[in-house]
Structure 1
Amino acid sequence: MIKAIITDFDGTLVDTFMANLMAYQKAFLYECGISLTAEKYRECFGLRYDAFMSRMGILNDTTANKIKELKKDFYPQYFEHLVPNHTLIDMIDTFHQMGGKTAIASTARKKNLMNAVGCLDLGKHFDLIFAGVDVKKGKPDPEIYNKTMKALGVTPEETLIFEDSDTGVGAAIACGAKYIRVTDEWFRKE
């Protein structure tokens, strides 16, 4: 019996691609004159920040930290581009109202995640929210899912995870929980 639903945030609960892309484009251009393309960002979407910077050729920690801070400041300017996954949100809301445990487990930066959750008024649907700062290892390592299940007091057999990326699905598989892959079709309006 499923007692808990855990969801990733970026690309799963909310399509944040455009908002993140636009904020990063502005930060990269401002800090180092690099034009970040949608294609390049799509290749890096879902990676931990240090891996993203490495793929972008940013090997200097000072520059990487400046980009991170600029992106954090620019991100809320693009919240009108956030697209909630109403199908999943409604499912989680119903499950939560029926007494099920719910959580967001994202390796995103906590401040960015909480700003977006607050903007979309999603916090009321969840018992807890974990972000990248709450774990040492990023997905596909299952650490964030193991920590979330422990905090909710559930086993992998009692947990259903929603994920969109190969990296996230790898983490779900590694923790032993059941999972459902969220695709672009979940965001389409009829």
Structure 2
Amino acid sequence: MAQVKLLITDFDGTLVDTFKANFLAYQKAFDKYGLELTEQQYRDCFGFRFDDFMTHMGIKDDETKQSIRLAKGEFYPLYFDKLVVNHSLLNLLKKFKLSGGLTAVASTARKENLMNALNFIDAADAFSLILAGEDVKHGKPNPEIYNTVLERLNILPSEAMVFEDSSVGIEAAKQSGINFVIVNSCFFS
């Protein structure tokens, strides 16, 4: 058994329930370009990387994709009041870092959106490292983002623990050889 030296958390759905804020921002972005997005359509795609989401929604035109991406980023902060923070996990991460441990966020979200949300909930300083979607080539379930965290912080998989809510994130942790904790709605109460 090895001492845990690093705690890694996913962001969307794990550290913060961002579903409502993301959905409303995307819905407004879609509407801006004459497209419709229902809550069920978004729920079916939640956790997808942006390009996979656009493909699933049948949006193939690169200009439209980029316009939606930019508009979503513009509208997202308007809905930050809908973010639900997982205070039990955030407090654990802050205390772990304060006690000398390393902490990281490993999210497929856009860096700008992720940093805006982390700053809004006053949590950016709680992390030794923050990785976002553009920091890696492959999204989860590919283990690249977790392997990158380990490499940058010089930590062995056996010395880390991941907090995840999605099956793709759990698969990425497994492929990295990192133990994990499945975060569900009980963490938010």
TM-score bucket of the superposed structures, by smaller chain: over 0.9
Q: How many Å separate the matches in 2 of 1:174 and 1:60?
A: 34
- List aligned pairs for 1:11-160, cutoff 5 A: 11-31=13-33, 33-160=34-161
RMSD over equivalenced CA pairs, Å:
0.7
Q: How many Å separate the matches in 1 of 2:37 and 2:81?
A: 20
TM-score (norm 1): 0.97
Q: Which amino acid aligns with 2:18?
A: T
Structure 1 residue 157: deviation in Å? 0.4
Structure 1 residue 35: deviation in Å? 2.2
Aligned residues: 187
SS in 1 for 2:118: helix
Q: Which amino acid aligns with 2:163?
A: F
SS in 2 for 1:162: strand
Q: Which amino acid aligns with 2:5?
A: K
Q: How many Å separate the matches in 1 of 2:40 and 2:23?
A: 10
Q: How many Å separate the matches in 2 of 1:125 and 1:117?
A: 9
Per-residue CA deviation, residues 40-78 of structure 1 (Å, 9 max, x unaligned), is 111111111110000111011110110000000000000
Per-residue CA deviation, residues 66-101 of structure 1 (Å, 9 max, x unaligned), is 000000000000000011100101111111111110
Q: Which amino acid aligns with 2:99?
A: M
What 5-or-longer segments of structure 2 have no aligned partner? Answer: none
Q: How many Å separate the matches in 2 of 1:182 and 1:118?
A: 22
TM-score (norm 2): 0.97
Q: How many Å separate the matches in 1 of 2:13 and 2:39?
A: 15
Q: How many Å separate the matches in 2 of 1:132 and 1:35?
A: 25
Q: Point out the more displaced range, 158-167 or 36-45.
A: 36-45
Taking every aligned residue pair, what percent have the same amino acid on both sides?
A: 51
Q: Which amino acid aligns with 2:28?
A: K
SS in 1 for 2:105: strand
